[in-house]
Each structure stands twice: as C-alpha cells, then as structure tokens.
Amino acid sequence: MPAACSRPVRSLRLPVCCLIALCALVSNSPAIAQDKNLLDLEKFELKFGFIKLTDCAPIVIAKEKGFFEEEGLQVEVIAQPNWKTLLDNVISGELDGAHMLSGQPIAATIGFGTKAHVITAYTMDLNGNGITVSNTIWERMQENDPDLLASQPQHPISADSLKPVVEELLDEGEKLQMGMVFPVSTHNYELRYWLAASGIHPGMYTKSDIGGRTDADVELSVTPPPMMPATLEAGNIQGYCVGEPWNQQAVAKGIGVPVTTNYDVWKNNPEKVFGVTKQWADENPQTHLAVIKALIMAGQWLDETDDNGKLVNREEAARILSRSDYVGADFDVIRNSMTGFFYFQQTDKREMPDFNVFFKHDCTYPWYSDGVWFLTQMRRWGQITEPKPDAWYHETAKKVYQPEIYLEAARMLVDEGLLDEDKVPWDTDGYKQPTDEFIDGITYDGKKPLEYLKAHQIGNKD
Amino acid sequence: MLGLWIILILACLVGAAAWAGKHRTVKAIDVAGLNFLTPIVRLCYGEEPEKQLKDIGRFIVVPVIAILLFLGAWHVVSEKIQTKSGKLPNPRDTLHAAKAINDFHYRENDKQAAFNLNGEERAQELERVEQRLEELKPLEAEVNKNVAAAKEAAKERLATKVAPLQEELDTLTAKFKDAKKQRDDELASLASQAAVGDEDAKNAFVGKVRAYRQLASDERDRLRDLRTEINDMRAEKDPEEQRALAEQTAIAEERQYLGKMQDQLTDSNRYEKVDEENAKLQEARETLYAADSATILKAATKVAQTEDRIDRIEESGYAKPATLPYQVKRSVLCVFVGFLIGSAIAIPLGVLCGLSKTFMAAMTPFIAIFKPVSPIVWLPIALIVASAFIPDPDKHWFTQWLWELPLLGEYKINPAFIASAVTVALCSLWATMVNTAFGVAAVDKDHINVARVLRLGFWSRLFKIVLPSALPLAFAGLRISLGVGWMVLIAAELLSSSEGIGKYIWDQFNNGASDSFANMVFVVFVVGIIGLVLDRMMIVFQRLVSFDGAPTAI
C-alpha cells in the first residue's frame, strides 16, 4: 500500500483547512487566505514548566495533541518540584514559560518575593481546588455539627464547625496547622477566605512577618502540591488547600476528607495562568502568539462537549495526564475531577461538571478584574504593606494581564477557521460583571477594589 | 539482545583467559576485584578440585542462596506491609515496574525516530502502527469490560464485608441516642431534686453528671472506632480491581503511544512538514514572479520566511521527555564532573598539606569545619551562585558552548547540573585531600634520604619519589570520594531538580500512583548497582597503582 493512501484523516482539521483554501481560491478574500504557519517564530524549541496538577492540562494537551506542532513549535514540558523553583526557572530563562498561579505574575511584578516583570496573556482554568482536612479534624467537625454525619452532607460546608476545634486547640496552647501551596497562591487566599468567612483569623503578613502568622488562629504553611497528602499523613498539618488530584488522592488513600471546593468558596474563580517574563514576550512576540494560539486550541479541545453537554475529551485527557512524566497519579483518581465528578468521601460522590473549566465562560481570556481580585487579597492579608489608591490596582493589573495578545491570537484562529467568532469576548473592557457568588455573599466588583476591601470583617480594610 | 551481549563478552573473556594462561588470568581477576571468579579459573585448570569446589560453594553458591532467600523474604514481607499508599511492592511488581520504565523509554525513542522517518520505511512503520491499533481495539473493549466487572465485583465484596459493621454502627448509633436521651431525662429529673437539696446532694449530682459525660464520651469513641474500621475497609484497595486497572492502563498507554506514533508518521513528520512547506514555497515563488512593484516586497518576504521555516524544520527534533536511562547517564556524568572538580582541588591541596606541616596547620581549621557540612546545606548556596554566573542559560556563551559539544551536548548542562556537581565536589573532596596528605606525609624516610643523596631537585623528588609512593593512599581516598559523591548526588538532584535519578525518585514520590512505589524500589537497585560499578572501577585503579595489592573491602 503506498504511503499516501494509508494516511488516515484523523480529525476535521485537514478538511477544514482544505475548505478554507478552497474558499480562499474562490472568493480571493485576503482575510481567509491568512494561512496557518505565517507566524515568523523567533524561537521554536521551547521549554515549559508545570506542577503536577490536573490544571496543567492545556500545556500537556497542546503538546500531546499536536497543537504546538501545528504552530511550528517543539515544546518540552518539564515537571517542577515547587512553585518557587518554577518561578525562579522562568525568571532565570531556564524555562521559556510556565503553568503559574494567578498570583505569581502579579506578585513578581510588584516585587513581593522574587521581583521580575512577569506577564500573562492566557488564563488556564477556573476552579479546580479543594480544602481537605484530616480524618481526626473531620470527626471533630462532625461532633460539632451532627448534620455532617450524613452520608451526603449539605453543601457548601463552611468553617463554622471548624471554629470550636480551633478554639479548643488554642486553649490547649496549640494552633491548627494547615497547608497551602505558595504565599501568593489562589489556595492561600481561598483557604483564608473560607476561614475568615467563619470568623477564624488566618494571620496577617507584615513587613517583619513574611510567614503570614501574625494574630493567627490557624497557622498556614507552604507545602508543594504533590507533597500535600504525604505531609498530612505524616501529621505535620491537619488540613490543606490544593488543586487536583491531591484532594481525590486523600480520599483514595483514606487519609482525609475534602470539605469544600473553591467552586463553593467563589464560583468560577480564576485559577492558573500561563506566565512568561515581559522580557521574553518582548523578544519573542510571534512565538508568544503561536503559544497562545496553541493553548486556546487546547483549552477548546478540553472543553469540547457533545450535544448532551457531556465533556467528550476528558477521559483521554485524564489518560494522558496520568502518564508518569506528567501528573502521574492513577488514572482513576485523575479521571474523577476531570470528567466532572468529585468524591468528598468514599460514600459521597457528586457530580461537579464545572469542577475544572478550561474554556467556557470566557475562561481563557486574561481578565483585569481577576488581577485586581488577587491584588485586593494581597492587600487584605498584608502582603502589600501600604494602602494603595483604586487606580494603582487597575494599573498593576494592566501591567500583568495582556488581553491584546490573547485577542490577536484568537483573531488569527478565527481567521483560520479554527475558532468560532462568538467564543471570544472581543468588546469587553476587561472587567467581569460584579458577582456575589462567594461563600459569604459579599459582592466583588473589579472596578471598585477599595470598596470590596472595606466589606470584609477580618484583614486590612484600606 | 542483552543476553547476546553477555554471552559475547563472556566468550571474549574466556578466550582472553585461555590465551593469557592461568596466572595472568588470576592476577587480572584479582586486580578487577572479582575474586569470586578465581576458583572457577583454577578449577578449569584442574588445580586442587576439592578446594576449588569448596571455594565456589562459599563465594558463589552461598551468595546466590542468600539472594534467593532475600527475594523470598521480601516477597513474604511485602504481602504483609500495607501502607495508605498501597502495598509494599514485591519482587514481581518491581520487575513489572522495570519493564514499564523500559517500555516508556523505547516508546519515546520510537516517537523520536518516527519524526525523522521517510519514504518506504515510514510507510512500513505506519502500516505496523495501524495494524497494531486495529489489534488493540477488541483488546481495549475487553479490558474496559473487565475493569467494569472487577469494579462491580469489588463493590459487592466490599458491601458484604462492610454490611455487618454498618449494621452494628446503625444499631449502636440508635441505641446510644436512646441511651443519651434517657440519661438526659434522668439528669433533668435529678436536677430538680438536686436544686433543692444540700451541698452534698449537689456534689453527688456533679458526680452523676461526670459519670454520664464519661459514658457519652465512651460511646462516642466506640462509634468512632467503628467508623474508622469501616473507612479503612473502604480505603483498602481490591487486588482484583487493581489488576484489571493495571491491564487497562497498559493497553491505554499503548494506544496513546500508537496514536502519537501515527501522528509523528503523518502530520507531524518532519518530511511531511517540509513537503508541505515546499509546496507553499513553490506557490510563494510563483506569486513572487508574477508580482508588481506594489506586492513584490510582501511576496519576497513570504519566500524568505518560508525558506527560513524549511531550514528550521529540517534541523528540528522531537522534544523527547527525559526517560530513566537518559537520567541515569546524566547522573553518572554529573557525579564524574563533580568528582573531577573535587579531585582537582583536593589532590594539590592534599600534596601541599603532606609536604608542609605548616600548610597542614593552616588548612586544618577549614577541613575540620567544612568536612561535616551536609550536601543539603551546600546545594542551595551552589544553586544561587551557579544561577548568578549563568543568568540566562539559553543565551549565555558558556552553556551555549556546552550544548554545542558533540557528546556532552545532549545532556543540556545547566545551572542546576553545575550546582549539583559542585555540591558533589564540596562533599567528596575531603576524603581525597586527607588521604593524599597522609600518603605524602608517610613516604618512606629511606626513599627521601636516597633522594637527598642523589641531590634530586624539588620537582624530581615530588614526581619520582613522593607522588608514586603516595598514590595508593590517594586512590583509596578517591574511591571513598566517588562513593560519597554518588550518594550526595542523588540528594542534590532531588533538591535542585536537575534531570537525573534524584529527580526521578522525587517525581515518583510526588506522583503517588499505584505503580510509583514499585518504580522507586526498582531505582534503589539501579542506584546500588551503579554505585557498585563505580566502586569496582576505582578498586581497579587503586590496585593498578599499588605495589602490594591494596586490600579489597566490599
């Protein structure tokens, strides 16, 4: 059999391209004639870092499903041991870009921690975290609130039933120890939000206390995500907030109970971003565009649904992610949350179709309002030591979030016929609608950061 | 393949031995530190068969039996040790892990090769891949069915196992609830009596309350124990289900691999891409030739762009993830780089220390303070320094130069690698330094006197008398250094996430999948065997430079 005949048509991409080419010939329209590989790449062998979490999926999928290759990129995807090393490697140039916590580019840009101008033009996902407590703490919470004894307790579970436990421990001269993954991580802010919403003080950062434990009722400490279950099992912490699969892992191993997910703390909250240094983006603008194009395609692939709204590609994605050089956890564990299920206990499996959102709800667009929210949390907990005016929040967010690049990449994809015009928020000013879908019901309007800060009981109010 | 190589090497050795004769062979074996082979050679030459057989029994049969016993004990013990991360892997699981690691390595190599295939070879490979994909389809359906069935069965088994406990829990919960209610009622009625009674009555009431609180707490503990027991049962992994899942994973991984292969052989293939670009180039050229002054710039740019792109595609490679064999090679390279740096510092300083008591006195405080410092302390410091010297490895001339080197290039030496190597050097140089100094200081007085009589100059004395006599001890030091360096390296890689065995272990630990445990146990043997080979190598060097045959400790 000759080679040409045995070549299968694996996807619709080829026919679509042919169709476009045909249209271009017929109509001679310059917009459609824009062909795929026109980008003048400055660099085509790239190294991206990631942390072993399911929300690294867009990068891994873009590699494994060939979206990077279609843009002419050869990308090596390398696991990093923790968020600090990952950021350092991006700043030092060892990595070209990475799967980052939303807070990282912002913190690096304003100089909390390592200072470097890091930008993002792509939000990788929404939601995806959970707060897990050890079996012992869960039992004590159940004692305080017998409703939790039910096999499927009512959600959302607030930290109210945890408060007496914290107080008892304080009386004994001890503080509950909980883990989060990085000082400027979404997890830190979510865990703090969840605790503070029930009147538990998670501690303030000050100039001299960069561990964030001043006045704390509960002490939070940094542990790399994949280490969380082991650290919990070893008894160094009694609970943690981390991304998947490390909450499901705790259930699978029977060492802890996820009490809530960040979907309940803040519905559809932004989670990870794809970050690169400003310098890298300036030196490699075309390459950056190509990367963003591939990532948008990957996000779209991950959130593809059939007519019934079932996510069709997630099983395959879970299979890819379970490879030991990617996330590496068992397929069964990764599949739970990736296909829209979450085990809160062995007996409590629930459907959570939006546990990981990779594309819908305009998820991949880099919203200024997301940046502003992280800045308000940094101020709330004292990581930003001085009060700042409203304008500063907007300026800083605009330094980090680069929707222009995103829109340019999206425009190219639309022209190539790979993306629907209506899937991109073309005309937005970059601020999402105000929302009150938080666990404490406080409204967040990205345009009014100071007002939002004032609305909270615990933490800095200016 | 491996078997063939072993047979070939053995045949060569036997040939060499036959040619060299008994004494030379025995001597060579002794130098190589493989003394357990000596009785076999002697036996072949018919020398004291009884004694040789006894030696064979002692040095070959006994260790083999010990290994078998160990494997047996391991197998038995592993069945009993159940952790929350799964069962301790038994020898068979470990072997499976080794096979999976190997598969992963070869599959990645295949993908890389597929990227570069063209013509007839590519067509053949594609046919193979597609055929195998077809074969897999029914298998996949079958394993999926098996997994579903196994899950169902496991669920049922669990349900029957949990049911009596659950029932007990339910009845106890109800019973305790009633009892509590009864006690509450009783206390309420007693309370009204105690309220009007005297102090004693009130104190007695406190006693009653305390007793009931104790009861309530006991009941709670009982329920908790039951719930824990049930939860533990639920958390336990069903072996049948695990087996079915493992089979499913094997098939699914192969399918993933074949799918990617198919892609590498078609759309993502280098020649395919070049062809595609060439077609575009042709088109662009035609546009160029037909262009007028308004459009010629654009057309010319496009031609240039396409040509550049073709050049790039032609030199591009498949971005292959690091596999264990690659990581092992990189680790060995790293330990030698560190070892060389360490020796380059330690030997001259050691010689100086040995030659001059004063210099030794000056060095003693540093040796005493820095020697016990752990690699974990050196590494972050080395990392910061190395990254400071090479701020941007992608552009720095030093890393660029290293990456261009013919053999070393593929190991992508970066600051993390350099930091690991420096850590190895800093931790391993002490043994060499102290031993060299000792060796130099202990040169036979008669030799020195002879040198004095012959009026040898400083340099001749150093190179003709001092160094040769110090060599055996210096090599003993080097041997210890390399051993220390190998141990230190794994820790350093683990922390610096320099691609290598240490990083592999850390990644596996982080993965926490059901096969990670077995992978880690397999790596224990890999590290051990490489350590052994390095040590044997140093023994050979040490023997070659000593006159009287240095003792071989294990």
**Contact call for B235 and A346, based on CB within 8 A:** yes
- Are B535 and B524 contacting, i.e. CB atoms less than 8 angstroms apart? no
Q: Is residue B256 part of a domain?
A: no
Angstrom distance (rounded) from CA B477 to CA B499 = 28
Q: Are residues B212 and B232 in the same domain?
A: yes
More confident residue, A30 or A35: A35
Q: Is residue A74 part of a domain?
A: yes
Q: Is residue A337 part of a domain?
A: no
**Contact call for B262 and A8, based on CB within 8 A:** yes
- The shortest C-alpha distance from A338 to chain B (Å) reads 16
**Partner-chain residue, chosen from A64, A81, A253, that has the shortest CB–CB distance to B85:** A253
**Partner-chain residue, chosen from B84, B119, B519, that has the shortest CB–CB distance to A254:** B84
Q: Are residues A449 and A308 in the same domain?
A: yes
Residues 270-299 of B with CB under 8 A from A: 277, 280
Residue A135 confidence (pLDDT) above 80? yes
* A34-66 confidence digits (pLDDT tens): 455 567 788 888 999 999 889 899 999 999 998
- The shortest C-alpha distance from B247 to chain A (Å) reads 12
Q: Count up the domains in chain A and report the number.
A: 3
Task: Give the pair of three-digit tokens for residue B22.
Answer: 């008994």
Q: Are residues A44 and A11 in the same domain?
A: no
Range of the domain at A444: 38-127+270-328+356-454
B315 inside 8 A of chain A by CB: no
Q: Is residue A348 part of a domain?
A: no
Q: Are residues A393 and A296 in the same domain?
A: yes
Best B394, B411, B412 residue to mutate vs chain A (most A CBs within 10 Å): B394
Which of B286, B321, B356 is a domain's end point? B321
**Partner-chain residue, chosen from B232, B495, B506, that has the shortest CB–CB distance to A254:** B232
Q: Are residues A192 and A316 in the same domain?
A: no
Angle, alpha carbons A233-A236-A241 (nearest 5°): 75
Task: Give the pair of three-digit tokens for residue A309.
Answer: 């709204």
Closest residue in B to A328 (Cα–Cα) = B511
Q: Is residue B260 part of a domain?
A: no
Task: Give the pair of three-digit tokens for residue B61.
Answer: 């049969």
Residue A31 confidence (pLDDT) above 50? no
Q: Are residues B496 and B361 in the same domain?
A: yes
Q: Is residue B475 part of a domain?
A: yes
Burial class (CB in 10 A: 0-12, 13-18, 19+), B5: exposed
Which residues from A are below 8 Å from B258, CB to CB? none
Angstrom distance (rounded) from CA A46 to CA A67 = 14
Whole-number pLDDT of residue B554: 40
ipTM beyond cut 0.85 = no
* A388-424 confidence digits (pLDDT tens): 888 999 999 999 999 999 999 999 999 888 888 888 8
Whole-number pLDDT of residue B412: 82
**Partner-chain residue, chosen from A6, A92, A347, that has the shortest CB–CB distance to B392:** A92
Which residue spans within B301-450 are E strands per DSSP? none
Q: Are residues B467 and B442 in the same domain?
A: yes
Up-side HSE of residue A234: CA atoms within 13 Å toward CB?
A: 9
Identity of the residue numbered A291? V
Q: How far is CA A21 from CA A149, A163, B274, in A?
A: 62, 64, 19
Whole-number pLDDT of residue B342: 93
**Contact call for A328 and B513, based on CB within 8 A:** yes
- The shortest C-alpha distance from A143 to chain B (Å) reads 9
Which of B57, B80, B103 is a domain's end point? B80
Q: Is residue A342 part of a domain?
A: no
B313 inside 8 A of chain A by CB: yes
- Mean pLDDT over A202-224 rounds to 86
* A249-281 confidence digits (pLDDT tens): 888 888 889 999 888 888 888 999 999 999 999
- Are A420 and A414 contacting, i.e. CB atoms less than 8 angstroms apart? yes
Q: Are residues A298 and A384 in the same domain?
A: yes
Q: Are residues A306 and A434 in the same domain?
A: yes
Task: Give the pair of three-digit tokens for residue A78.
Answer: 């390398």
Whole-number pLDDT of residue B85: 66
**Contact call for B126 and A80, based on CB within 8 A:** no
B137 inside 8 A of chain A by CB: no
B85 inside 8 A of chain A by CB: yes
Q: Is residue B124 part of a domain?
A: yes
SS3 A349: strand
Whole-number pLDDT of residue A19: 45
Q: Is residue B466 part of a domain?
A: yes
Q: Are residues B398 and B479 in the same domain?
A: yes
Q: pLDDT averaged over chain A? A: 85
Query: Which secondary-structure segment (H or E) carries A120?
Result: strand A118-123
Residue A336 confidence (pLDDT) above 90? no
Q: Is residue B377 part of a domain?
A: yes
CATH number of the domain enclosing B403: 1.10.3720.10
Q: Count up the domains in chain B and report the number.
A: 4
Angstrom distance (rounded) from CA A247 to CA A229 = 8
Q: Are residues B331 and B280 in the same domain?
A: no
**Contact call for B313 and A6, based on CB within 8 A:** no
Which residues from A are below 8 Å from B266, CB to CB? 7-8, 10
Q: Are residues A442 and A295 in the same domain?
A: yes
Q: How far is CA B35 from CA B58, B273, B388, B547, in A?
A: 12, 58, 49, 18
Whole-number pLDDT of residue B549: 52
**Contact call for B234 and A346, based on CB within 8 A:** yes
Q: Are residues B378 and B390 in the same domain?
A: yes
CA-nearest of B272, B321, B112 to A70 is B272
Q: Are residues B493 and B347 in the same domain?
A: yes
**Partner-chain residue, chosen from B104, B267, B320, that has the shortest CB–CB distance to A66:** B267
Range of the domain at B171: 119-246
Q: Are residues B56 and B134 in the same domain?
A: no
Q: Is residue A347 part of a domain?
A: no
Closest residue in A to B266 (Cα–Cα) = A7
Whole-number pLDDT of residue A152: 84
Q: Are residues A301 and A446 in the same domain?
A: yes
- The shortest C-alpha distance from A273 to chain B (Å) reads 22
B231 inside 8 A of chain A by CB: yes
DSSP bridge pairs for A388: none
Whole-number pLDDT of residue A291: 93
Closest residue in B to A138 (Cα–Cα) = B224
Report residue B351: phi and psi, to 5°: -65, -45
Angstrom distance (rounded) from CA A262 to CA A250 = 17
Closest residue in A to B268 (Cα–Cα) = A69
Which of B27, B58, B80 is a domain's end point? B80
Q: Is residue A92 part of a domain?
A: yes
Q: Are residues A116 and A134 in the same domain?
A: no
Q: Are residues A191 and A154 in the same domain?
A: yes
Q: Are residues B34 and B70 in the same domain?
A: yes
Q: Are residues B306 and B346 in the same domain?
A: no
Q: Are residues B393 and B530 in the same domain?
A: yes
Q: Are residues A166 and A102 in the same domain?
A: no
In which residue are the tokens 């196994």 written? B150
Which residues from A are below 8 Å from B510, CB to CB? 52, 79, 81, 224, 226-227, 328
pLDDT tens-digit profile, chain B (554 residues): 667 888 888 888 788 877 877 788 887 777 777 778 888 888 888 888 888 888 888 888 999 999 999 999 999 888 887 776 667 888 888 998 899 889 889 988 888 888 888 888 888 888 888 888 898 888 888 988 998 999 899 889 888 888 888 888 889 888 988 888 888 888 888 888 887 878 888 888 888 888 888 988 888 888 888 888 888 888 777 888 888 888 888 888 888 888 888 888 888 888 888 888 888 888 888 888 888 888 888 888 888 888 888 888 877 778 788 889 999 999 999 999 999 999 999 999 999 998 888 999 999 999 899 988 888 888 889 888 888 888 777 778 888 888 888 778 788 888 888 999 999 999 999 999 999 999 888 888 888 888 888 888 888 888 888 888 888 888 889 999 999 999 999 989 888 878 899 989 988 888 877 788 889 999 999 999 999 999 988 888 888 877 665 554 44
Q: Is residue A382 part of a domain?
A: yes
Angstrom distance (rounded) from CA B394 to CA A43 = 11
Q: Are residues A42 and A113 in the same domain?
A: yes
Angle, alpha carbons B545-B547-B553 (nearest 5°): 75
CA-nearest of B411, B384, B394 to B500 is B411
Q: Are residues B526 and B485 in the same domain?
A: yes
Q: How many residues does chain A have?
A: 462
- The shortest C-alpha distance from B392 to chain A (Å) reads 5
Q: Is residue A341 part of a domain?
A: no
